[in-house]
Amino acid sequence: MKKMIKYIVADILQSRIMIAYTIILLVISFSVFAIEDNPAKGILSLLNIILFIVPLVSIIFSTIYIYNSSEFIELLVSQPLQRNAIWLSMFAGLSLSLSLAFLLGSGIVILVYAWSATGFIMLASGILLSNVFVAVSLLASVRIRDKARGIGAAIMLWLYFAMLFDTLVLFLLLQFSDYPIENSVVALTALNPIDLSRVLILLRIDVSAMMGYTGAIFRDFFGSTSGMLIALAMMLTWIGLPAYISTARFRSKDL
């Protein structure tokens, strides 16, 4: 399994797309902190960019890589190797590669300009989001045999998490504005890893006051140690559950 992971990581890191992704993150991160004289403002400016780019690249690149590696996967399956080990190696290789690209692109800049708890949370959020959307992409690709449909499903999933989910939450808030549903909004936020990362970082840089009463509830829940642990557990669940389901599906899939 270690040999497979090393081969996959080496293959991905040589990809021009991955090199371009790392350079783009590096240029954007450095430019943002160079313009802003306040690290908190730099993190806030970089936040939406990372929450937009990292999930998009992670899910689309991983989906395309899985489909393009179909012959390689079939070759591995024909060998005396467990299917679980093959699929988990693909997941580990993609996760490590995308996490390393994020660390080299944005992580180093964040550590240099924002050496603080907020910077570390942002760094951890980027790595976790990379892993989450790799797991989601593997689930989409193993369930859909056609490459075009699989890539389309990956894009739709990203659109749902990045844009549509917030629209649905806003619609619920407007429809039930006369009822105390703030606690329900906290639960809904935990169902979207992008929103979960955004809320955790925004609360750390003290802009929750701009979020009104709901912001106070977010601070009371996620601002505590137990809230942070629950948020971390939810992010890990977003990684583990799709990875587990896709592995079970791959184990019984007819190639």
- Return the pLDDT at 212: 47
pLDDT digits (tens, 9 = 90+) for 200-220: 777 776 655 445 445 556 666
pLDDT: which is higher, 35 or 94: 94
Residue entry with tokens 């590096």: 26
Higher pLDDT, 2 or 28: 28
Q: Which of 37-46, 92-101, 103-112, 186-195 has the highest mean pLDDT?
A: 92-101
Q: Please name the residue ranges forming H helices in the chain.
A: 2-13, 16-35, 39-68, 70-77, 83-102, 108-113, 117-143, 147-159, 165-175, 182-189, 193-204, 212-222, 225-252
pLDDT higher than 60, residue 113: yes
Provide the pLDDT for residue 5: 87
CB atoms within 10 A of CB 77: 15
Query: ∠ at Cα 250 (3, 245), nearest 5°?
Result: 105
pLDDT of 181 strictly over 60: yes
Quick one: which of 242, 248, 196, 243 has its CA closest to 222? 196
Q: Looking at beta carbons, which pairs linking 170-174 to residues 24 or more positions away fall under 8 Å?
A: none
DSSP 8-class letter at 160: I
- Coil vs helix vs strand at 188: helix
Cβ-based burial of 178 (10 A; exposed 0-12, middle 13-18, buried ≥19): exposed
Average pLDDT (134-155) is 90
**Which of 69-73, 163-167, 178-182 bottoms out in mean pLDDT, i.e. has the lowest?**
178-182
pLDDT above 80 (res 170): no
Q: Both tokens of residue 31?
A: 């430019």
> Which range scores top for mean pLDDT: 79-93, 111-125, 193-207?
79-93
- Residue pLDDT, tens place only, 214-248: 555 666 666 667 777 888 888 899 999 999 999 99
pLDDT given for residue 227 in this prediction:
72
DSSP letters for 66-99: HHHTHHHHHHHHTSS--HHHHHHHHHHHHHHHHH
What pLDDT score was predicted for residue 219? 66
Kindly state the percentage of the chain with pLDDT values over 90: 33
Residue type, 192: N
SS3 144: coil
Closest Cα to residue 59, out of 248, 247, 244, 238? 238
Mean pLDDT of 162-172: 80
Contact assessment for residue 150 and residue 63, using Cβ atoms and an 8 Å cutoff = yes
pLDDT digits (tens, 9 = 90+) for 30-45: 888 888 777 777 888 8
Whole-number mean pLDDT of the chain?
Answer: 84
